[in-house]
Chain A
Amino acid sequence: MKNTIASRIADFLKNYPPFNLLKKEDLLMISKQVKVKYLEKGKLLFAEGDIGHKRFYVVNKGAISLERDNEGKRETIDKCDEGDIFGLRPLFAKENYLINAIAEEETILYAIPIKKFKPLTEENKEVGNFLIQSFASNTRNPYAEAHKGKLISEKEPVENQYQPNNNLFELQPAPVTRKVVMTSPETTIKAAAQLMSKKKVGSVLVVEENIPKGIVTDEDFRDMVATGAFGIETEVSKIMASPVICYPQGLTIAQAQLTMMKHHINHICITEDGTPNTKVVGILSEHDIMVSEGHNPSVLMKAIQRSSSTNELKKIRHKITLLLRGFLAVNIPLNHISKIIFELNDATIKRIIERCIKKLPTPPPCDFTWISLGSQGRKEQLLQTDQDNALIFEDVPEEKLEETRTYFLELARKVNKRLNIIGYEFCPAEMMAKNPKYCLSLNEWKDQFTNWIIDPGNDEILLCSIFFDFDISYGNVNLSNALADHIFSLTKENRKFYAVMGATTLRNPSPLGFFRQFLLEENGENKDFFDIKKRGITPLTDAGRLLILYHQVKNISNTAERFEKLAQLEPNNKELFLACAYASKVLLKFRTQHGLENRNSGRFIDLENLSKEEKIKLKRCFKSIRQVQELIKYRFEVTPYI
């Protein structure tokens, strides 16, 4: 029998260690035994204490989060992406799992039978060593690129994790490396250099019975050996810097940075009592601090702009989520958070478009604008949700129209695909630039809006409400401005349109009455979830959009900002509008926190789990919704039968 599928699995595995070390026929034999496993997002593969499975796993697609329970809290130890192996414990010990493995997103795994694989690890030493190292260090791939150029080959994972509970990055404990590359004072410079180059590190600690005596760095080689001052057969003790700057454990990042600056050094030695007289515990390098600082927005921004692959962007996106978690944990104001996250999302989209344009054989035939719609357009997209976008291109002569569209559709197809890979799911209503219905020239867009606004049925109003909240992500801003002007000219004093749109806004009545009931029934049995999007966020968003359109204000698409603007425009309703702006922020934060906790969109809230304070807070928001809905009802003469 031919083995098309097994060969394909082998084709994937051969790109990753330790499978790249296997003989071709062994790899095929293993591939034939693989089980391809599908996990839904949030699904638990194995839990702490579970009996070891008969197979270990390789991520084919998606991501697995390895977590540990720490005093009731789940702590992420590691995240496994494409090609990473995990669940190795049963391969080595007949113990139960010590960690939880959860699908962070929809995931496909290749499950490899331990019974068949074990003989190969015994036969092939390299394979065995790789797995032992990988297992012992908890780093999935000890040979990974990221570990090069540091004074270490492995790290203690726990200390490296971003701790959202700690207030500021600078006050977190600095990342300490336990496995230190060390040598004795009598070693020759040549041997020390060979050791450093073998371990791929920039410095080596000189010790006597584990007591630090000095440190030698790349710089010392340059200054003292390459200049000819010392020969390579000299003992390292002649060129080492001594004494070594030592500190006890528990140094914060800020302290470490200050110390390094003060002494002009980039490594700090950690000893048992913090003096050079006790044994070495670990080492702390400037590089490690920089790497752990990866959660800082400006570092992330630079990383996005320099990224050269979609996979890289996907990893950055994961860090953005960690950053968001940290921000929410320390109660940074939501408009501040939204702005930062929006900027990072926006930069990601821009970077993807930029890269896709380069992938096409020719540059764009004319100017165009990529617009983001919906929550990203409103700058309210904190959690990753669906992608909604569209493309406007410049008007071109009739005979060039289809050719131009073909170009932009191809571009959009590439961009949509990559956005999907990094985690923005395809829009279920196919509202994406790759859909020929939403990849139009400026004139076609104008006609489109004219049709929607002149004869507004339910679908048309829905489309309007999606497309009115746009934000330019890439390209020529004049195109989107021209479209906005066209919309205003159509809606100006268009009472019929406002009335229909007003009716849609009131379609989701304020949940106040419904919710008050819940407050009374605190011990009741109703365990139904509360749809915070439909009942809270959408009515407010709809109201803000309608009112801002009525005032013909361009370029503000964020709901809270819209209400703040409205408060300026209508001083007599200032209080209500400010309350709405506040409510919009509260609801969004609520949803985001909820979504992060439950790894979903955060849309459905279990009322039973809310504190009384939270319920009161929500109730206050709903009061504002009801009031602004009343205002709309009277202002736009909304009649119930429309």
Chain B
Amino acid sequence: MLNLFKKKQDNLPDFWKEYETKFQEKLPKEIAETRFVVFDTETTGFDIKKDRMLSIGAVAIKNKSINIADGFEEYISQETFNPKTVKIHGIIQNERIETLSEEEAVKTFLKYIGNSVLVAHHAGFDVGMINEALSRMGLPKLKNKVLDTVNLYRGTRIISNLINREKSYSLDEIAETYNIDTKDRHTAAGDAFITAIAFLTILGKLNNDGKINLKKLFRV
């Protein structure tokens, strides 16, 4: 058994090993020192197995600021024709955007995220999409810790019988509450940026006692 496991390890490509090594380093305790990668995927649909990613957009946050220079925006070329991809193909062709194969895109994404904490709105879906792509490449799942802004936002709401806390808040609702401009809504990078601002605002609200740290954030 042990041998088999080891053998599998050996077969993994270098970029994956590199990615894995980054996790030997422990995450910092303080939020200010932690690198968060807020990301979003644009897809052909909502079926994790059948649908494919069209683009991945992400921004990195450290010490309560989004560093625009440390951003990620890649478009993925589609192997099979899908009517849902027509619109984005149009954009790609018109603006002459370079596209990557799914493998290449995921590979650069892994390099970009490292061991950062991932943040996404309805994170389960976006992480699922990436994991499916990884499995098509014969690779294990993402190893990063993940935060979901739906869940975090819920944590900012008061505990009251008068409101339904279990409600699943959409990105639009959160943007309206925090008065965030939703201009580039429905592009992966645009949504990632909106989510990042929402995430920063939520952190501010959750930190009303000034004592929040990474550990507590995962418990919200």
A residues engaging B (CB < 8 A)? Answer: 1-6, 8-9, 11, 31-40, 61, 106, 108, 111, 417, 420-421, 426, 428-431, 459, 462-463
Indicate if the CB atoms of B176 and A417 lie closer than 8 Å: yes
Indicate if the CB atoms of A4 and B189 lie closer than 8 Å: yes
Indicate if the CB atoms of B158 and A31 lie closer than 8 Å: no
Known interface pairs A2-B95, A38-B201; A459-B73 also in contact (CB < 8 Å): no
Indicate if the CB atoms of B158 and A2 lie closer than 8 Å: no
Indicate if the CB atoms of A5 and B65 lie closer than 8 Å: no
Q: A37 vs B67: C-alpha distance in the bound complex, in angstroms? A: 9
Q: Which residues of B (130-149) have their CB < 8 Å from a CB of A?
A: none
Q: A1 vs B100: C-alpha distance in the bound complex, in angstroms? A: 11
Indicate if the CB atoms of A40 and B68 lie closer than 8 Å: no
Q: A38 vs B64: C-alpha distance in the bound complex, in angstroms? A: 6
Indicate if the CB atoms of B68 and A430 lie closer than 8 Å: no
Nearest neighbor of A1 in chain B, beta-carbon distance: B73
Q: A111 vs B163: C-alpha distance in the bound complex, in angstroms? A: 38
Q: Is B217 an interface residue (CB 8 A)?
A: no
Q: A33 vs B66: C-alpha distance in the bound complex, in angstroms? A: 10
Indicate if the CB atoms of B73 and A4 lie closer than 8 Å: yes
Nearest neighbor of B59 in chain A, beta-carbon distance: A5
Q: Is B28 an interface residue (CB 8 A)?
A: no
Which of A2, A8, A35, A106 interacts with B201 by CB under 8 Å? A106
Indicate if the CB atoms of B66 and A428 lie closer than 8 Å: no
Given contacts A5-B59, A8-B184, A106-B201, 4 further A-B contacts (CB under 8 A): A2-B189, A8-B190, A36-B197, A61-B179
Indicate if the CB atoms of B162 and A2 lie closer than 8 Å: no
Q: A606 vs B125: C-alpha distance in the bound complex, in angstroms? A: 46
Known interface pairs A1-B74, A33-B69; A429-B158 also in contact (CB < 8 Å): yes
Q: A31 vs B197: C-alpha distance in the bound complex, in angstroms? A: 17
Indicate if the CB atoms of A111 and B65 lie closer than 8 Å: yes
Indicate if the CB atoms of A2 and B66 lie closer than 8 Å: no
Say how far A374's CB is from chain B's closest CB, in angstroms.
Answer: 13
Mark interface residues in B196-217 (1 if CB within 8 Å of A CB, else 0): 1100110110010000000000
Indicate if the CB atoms of B197 and A4 lie closer than 8 Å: no
Nearest neighbor of A4 in chain B, beta-carbon distance: B189
Q: Is B34 an interface residue (CB 8 A)?
A: no
Query: How many residues of chain B have a CB within 8 Å of chain A?
Result: 38
Q: A8 vs B177: C-alpha distance in the bound complex, in angstroms? A: 21
B residues engaging A (CB < 8 A)? Answer: 57, 59, 64-69, 71, 73-75, 95, 97-98, 157-158, 160-163, 176-177, 179, 183-184, 187, 189-190, 192-193, 196-197, 200-201, 203-204, 207
Indicate if the CB atoms of B69 and A32 lie closer than 8 Å: yes
For A37, the chain B residues whose CB sits under 8 A away are 64-66
Closest 3 A-B residue pairs measured CB to CB?
Answer: A38-B200, A4-B189, A36-B66
For B157, the chain A residues whose CB sits under 8 A away are 428
Nearest neighbor of B75 in chain A, beta-carbon distance: A2
For B161, the chain A residues whose CB sits under 8 A away are 459
For B68, the chain A residues whose CB sits under 8 A away are 5-6, 9, 31-36
Nearest neighbor of B157 in chain A, beta-carbon distance: A428
For A421, the chain B residues whose CB sits under 8 A away are 179
For B196, the chain A residues whose CB sits under 8 A away are 36
Nearest neighbor of B95 in chain A, beta-carbon distance: A2
Nearest neighbor of A466 in chain B, beta-carbon distance: B162
Q: A46 vs B204: C-alpha distance in the bound complex, in angstroms? A: 18
A and B contact pairs by CB, cutoff 8 A, 28 listed: A1-B74, A2-B73, A2-B95, A3-B71, A4-B73, A4-B184, A4-B187, A4-B193, A5-B71, A5-B190, A5-B192, A6-B68, A8-B190, A34-B68, A35-B65, A36-B196, A37-B66, A38-B197, A38-B201, A38-B203, A39-B64, A61-B179, A106-B201, A106-B204, A417-B179, A421-B179, A429-B163, A459-B161
For A431, the chain B residues whose CB sits under 8 A away are 162
Say how far B88's CB is from chain A's closest CB, in angstroms.
Answer: 12
Say how far B19's CB is from chain A's closest CB, in angstroms.
Answer: 20
Say how far A612's CB is from chain B's closest CB, in angstroms.
Answer: 30
Nearest neighbor of A107 in chain B, beta-carbon distance: B204
Indicate if the CB atoms of A430 and B163 lie closer than 8 Å: yes
Indicate if the CB atoms of B73 and A3 lie closer than 8 Å: yes
Indicate if the CB atoms of B73 and A430 lie closer than 8 Å: no
